[in-house]
């Protein structure tokens, strides 16, 4: 098999419900990474493999945090809403991302799938026990948490200090880069979220999101294959538009 074919095969197995960890397409990115086969088997035994539908809630803010999840396939959206309906989307999660680990007893944001998705679900207490017994896994999770914190910091810069154009360009580049890291298709890049969700991620309105995307298209920086897929035509321009580093 060629490298491409191998990669294709690898991706096809991503999140296969019956597959053991060593066949899991998300293994390279998620919590199981670098576990030796024995530990992987142990962790697998603790997991419930979950198949989730498109636009299905995983948990809501305030729910008791009984479980933690490791996403293996699909996209999930994390958000927090104010009582009057204003919503802030915190991030769009990709295969390998860890969801639902809380310091307290309840979840503090909403999690919903944007696409069909698969995940490994662990009982919180059981998972904590595994971490106790496997400090290198705890350290790996700590490093993943630290990456998420860095991602949140970049998002705070976007929300607090960037213009509308910079926000949209940064959003597209960030999603593309993270999708690429996870071996997902980037050209065209899937946008399974609605304009309203892009707006709530970037702190803008749907009208502004639509106008900015329209302008990027007019300027030949991107092509919109459909409303839910972009192709980056002029990468350098898009990077310039995303603002200074």
The residues of the shown chain that bind a second copy, judged by CB under 8 A, are: 80, 82-84, 86-88, 90, 101-103, 108-109, 128, 131-136, 138-139, 141-150, 152-157, 159-162, 200, 202-203, 243-245
Which one of a second copy, DNA, none is in contact with 84 (Cβ closer than 5 to 8 A by kind)? a second copy
Which one of DNA, a second copy, none is in contact with 163 (Cβ closer than 5 to 8 A by kind)? DNA
Query: x/- contact string, 149-168, with DNA (CB under 7 A)?
Result: --------------xxx---
Which one of DNA, a second copy, none is in contact with 195 (Cβ closer than 5 to 8 A by kind)? DNA
Cα–Cα distance between 125 and 131 in angstroms, integer? 10
Question: According to the binding rule CB under 7 A, does residue 209 interact with DNA?
Answer: yes
61: tokens are 């803010």
Question: According to the binding rule CB under 7 A, does residue 203 interact with DNA?
Answer: yes
At 14, give phi and psi (nearest 5°).
Answer: -45, 120
Which one of DNA, a second copy, none is in contact with 153 (Cβ closer than 5 to 8 A by kind)? a second copy
Using CB under 7 A as the binding criterion, the count of chain residues that bind DNA stands at 21
Which one of a second copy, DNA, none is in contact with 18 (Cβ closer than 5 to 8 A by kind)? none
> Which listed range, 67-75, 100-108, 125-133, 191-199, lies at the site for DNA (CB under 7 A)?
191-199
> Which residue lies nearer to a second copy by CB, 14 or 182?
182
> Which listed range, 68-76, 91-99, 129-137, 209-217, lies at the site for DNA (CB under 7 A)?
209-217
CA angle 94, 97, 102 (to 5 degrees): 135
Give the full edge-to-edge strand order of the sheet including 98-99.
Answer: 48-52, 117-123, 67-73, 98-99
């Amino acid at each position: 098999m060629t490298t491409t074919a191998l990669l294709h095969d690898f991706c096809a197995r991503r999140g296969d419900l019956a597959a053991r960890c060593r066949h899991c397409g998300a293994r390279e990115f998620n919590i199981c990474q670098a576990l030796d086969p024995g530990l992987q088997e142990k962790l697998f035994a603790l997991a419930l493999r979950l198949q989730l539908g498109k636009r299905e809630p995983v948990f809501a803010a305030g729910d008791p945090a009984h479980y933690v999840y490791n996403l293996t396939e699909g996209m999930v959206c994390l958000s927090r809403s104010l009582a009057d309906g204003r919503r802030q989307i915190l991030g769009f999660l990709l295969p390998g991302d860890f969801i639902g680990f809380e310091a307290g007893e309840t979840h503090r944001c909403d999690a919903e799938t944007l696409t069909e998705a698969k995940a490994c679900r662990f009982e919180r207490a059981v998972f904590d026990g595994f971490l106790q017994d496997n400090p290198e896994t705890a350290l790996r999770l700590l490093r993943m948490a630290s990456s998420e914190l860095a991602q949140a910091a970049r998002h705070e810069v976007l929300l607090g200090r960037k213009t509308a154009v910079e926000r949209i360009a940064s959003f597209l580049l960030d999603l593309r880069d993270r999708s690429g890291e996870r071996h997902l298709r980037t050209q065209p890049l899937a946008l399974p979220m609605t304009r309203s969700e892009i707006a709530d991620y970037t702190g803008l309105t749907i009208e502004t999101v639509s106008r900015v995307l329209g302008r990027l298209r007019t300027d030949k920086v991107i092509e919109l294959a459909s409303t839910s897929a972009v192709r980056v035509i002029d990468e350098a321009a898009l990077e310039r538009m995303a603002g200074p580093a």
